[in-house]
Amino acid sequence: MLDFLHKIPNFEAYGNPQYFFYLAIALIPVAIGIYRQKRFHLYEALVQFVFIFLMFTGGKVNQGLALLAYIVWEFVIVGSYLTYRKNANRTWVFYLMTVLSILPLAIVKLSPALLGHNSLLGFIGISYLTFRSTGMVMTARDGVISGFNPWMFFKFVLFMPTFTSGPIDRYERFEKDYDNLPTKDEYLDMIQKAVWYIMVGFLFKFIIAYVLKDIAMPYVEDRALSRGGFSWSLLGYMYVYGLDLYFDFAGYSLFAVAISYIFGIKSPMNFNRPFISKNLKDFWNRWHISLSFWFRDFVFMRLTFTLMKKKVFKSRVTTANVAYILNMLLMGFWHGVTWYYIAYGLFHGLGLVVNDAWLRYKRKHKNQIPHNKFTEIFAIFLTIQVVFVGFLIFSGFLDKLFFK
């Protein structure tokens, strides 16, 4: 059986134009059904199962087995807690189930640093499935989710359009969309947007990101390495890498949102013109929005509340600053246990502390500090430079340049 699965060609999500051709054919009945105000539940499930199945054939069969084990684990954890939460609300149970929900992802992330090799539990998309599962536990604690619906759990956690890299949706929002089909006019508008998002996604991912990654990147990388240390070529690498990161991921996210729309689900947008941000906080409201908002709601806000409730710090400002740094450090660790991911998290944590201090100072001295078009343009320019320095740290290129 495993040999047979190894022989089936692997089908990377949104990996090439051929993928969209097969997906478009498979989605025609889905679109017709929703336009006629009806969900073909079995057909939708079959389409999603086939496309997810094909992500884990060929050389990724072991990842597929890890996915099966993972989904059983999360089903038990999330199902147990949501059932328990209907009648009780003990804090230690909540913390225990949250930790257990995150445990598979923590093992996968820590294994390379602690064991020197990747965990067998890893599979593509584990991070985003964990954000959904753990988010369900946390919102159940808040009383937002009442009761456990096994089939809706599978539909939400294994939603194929956003399976591998988000955007990260919230259960209550997803369930509402799934249960309430858009009207014919609303759905036609969604289809129109989906087509536009796919066209822009093609421009971003298959043209601009291709030029940046396959043509410009090797050139600036070679020159930066040949010169060594800090150089103009390193500056070029920083901008090329940052732009490639944006266009590649933004294109991918547009595909995911577009296909979600065809399923009648309004998955949230992940980017909103991040390069016109006026400060670092504004940037995180525009960049990888579903991830930064997940960390804001489920880490930063809860950490701030706990620190204030326990009166760990006397000052609200100190509390917020500590929460900023710990929140961004955790985001850095989530990317991987390497010095440059951790440094990236610390860089942005400290950046948000400085950003907040500047905004407080500006409010107190608003009559002395000019505010006009020039200062706004300067703020955007300065923010983007800070953001691109962060991208350079995140890229890991400094590790290659200075230590290898």
According to the model, what pLDDT value does residue 303 have? 94
The alpha carbon of residue 43 and the mean position of all alpha carbons in its chain are separated, in whole angstroms, by 28
The pLDDT of residue 46 is 97
Predicted confidence at residue 58, as pLDDT, reads 87
SS3 87: coil
Can you tell me the distance from the alpha carbon of 130 to that of 107, in angstroms, rounded to the nearest whole number? 12
Task: Please give the pLDDT value at position 224.
Answer: 95
234 closest CA partner among 219, 226, 244, 224: 224
Distance between CA atoms of 345 and 328, rounded to whole angstroms? 5
Is the separation of the CB atoms in 211 and 243 below 8 Å? no
CB burial readout 216-233, b (16+ within 10 A) else e:
bbeebbeebeeeeeeeeb
Instruction: Judge whether residue 9 has pLDDT over 90.
Output: no
Q: Are 349 and 325 in contact (CB under 8 A)?
A: yes
Q: How much is the pLDDT for 371?
A: 86
Residue 273 sits at φ, ψ, to 5 deg, of 45, 60
- Which pTM was predicted? 0.94
Q: What pLDDT, on the 0 to 100 scale, is given for residue 368?
A: 86
Q: Where are the alpha helices (DSSP H) in 11-117?
A: 17-35, 41-55, 61-85, 91-115
DSSP structural state of residue 161 = G
What is the C-alpha separation between 80 and 258, in angstroms, rounded?
33
CA–CA distance, 294 with 130 (Å, rounded to integer): 12
Residue 298's Cβ-side half-sphere holds a number of Cα atoms within 13 Å equal to 25
As a whole number of angstroms, the distance between CA 144 and CA 132 comes to 14
Intra-chain end-to-end CA distance of the chain, in Å: 43
Percentage, residues of the chain above pLDDT 70:
100
pLDDT at 7: 79
Average pLDDT, the chain: 95
How many C-beta atoms surround the C-beta of residue 127 within 10 A?
18
For 235-271, the pLDDT digits (tens) are 999 999 999 999 999 999 999 999 999 999 999 999 9
Catalytic residue status for 335 = yes
Percentage of residues in the chain having pLDDT higher than 90 = 89
What per-residue confidence (pLDDT) applies to 188? 97
* Dihedral, CA of residue 374, residue 378, residue 379 and residue 380, to nearest 10: 100
Rounded to an integer, the average pLDDT of 207-235 is 95
For residue 353, pLDDT over 80 is answered with yes
The reported pLDDT for the residue numbered 370 is: 85
pLDDT at 2 over 80: no
Tokens of 142: 């808040």
Q: What is the pLDDT of residues 116-130, one digit of tens each?
A: 899 999 999 999 999
Residue 3 has pLDDT above 80, yes or no: no
Residue 72 buriedness (CB in 10 A; 0-12 / 13-18 / 19+)? exposed
Query: Given pLDDT bands bounded at 50, 70 and 90, which one contains residue 10?
Result: confident
One-letter amino acid of 131: F
Tell me, what's the pLDDT at 267?
97
Give the three-class secondary structure for 401.
helix
How many C-beta atoms lie closer than 10 Å to residue 241's C-beta? 23
Asked if residues 177 and 265 have their Cβ atoms less than 8 Å apart, the reply is yes
Looking at beta carbons, which pairs linking 284-292 to residues 24 or more positions away fall under 8 Å?
Answer: 284/348, 284/352, 287/387, 288/249, 289/167, 290/166, 290/167, 290/168, 290/169, 291/131, 291/166, 291/168, 291/331
- Residue 379 has what pLDDT? 96
Tokens of 31: 């679109």
Lowest mean pLDDT among 136-140, 349-353, 361-365, 376-380: 361-365
Q: How many CB atoms lie within 10 A of CB 96?
A: 13
d(CA 304, CA 182): 38
Tell me what the mean pLDDT of segment 176-205 comes to. 97
Helix (H, G, I), strand (E, B) or coil at 372: coil
Catalytic-labelled residue, pool 335, 348, 365, 371: 335
Amino acid identity at 375: T
Contact by Cβ (8 Å): 313, 319: yes
Residue type, 206: F
Task: Give yes or no for residue 1 having a pLDDT over 90.
Answer: no
CA angle 185, 190, 193 (to 5 degrees): 130
Kindly report, residue by residue over 135-187, the tens digit of the pLDDT.
999 999 999 998 899 999 999 999 999 999 889 999 999 999 999 999 999 99
Q: What is the pLDDT of residue 146?
A: 81
Per the listing, tokens 């400060």 go with 279
Check residue 8 and give its pLDDT.
82
Tell me which DSSP letter residue 147 carries. S
The predicted-structure confidence for 44-81, as pLDDT tens digits, reads as follows: 999 999 999 999 998 899 999 999 999 999 999 999 99
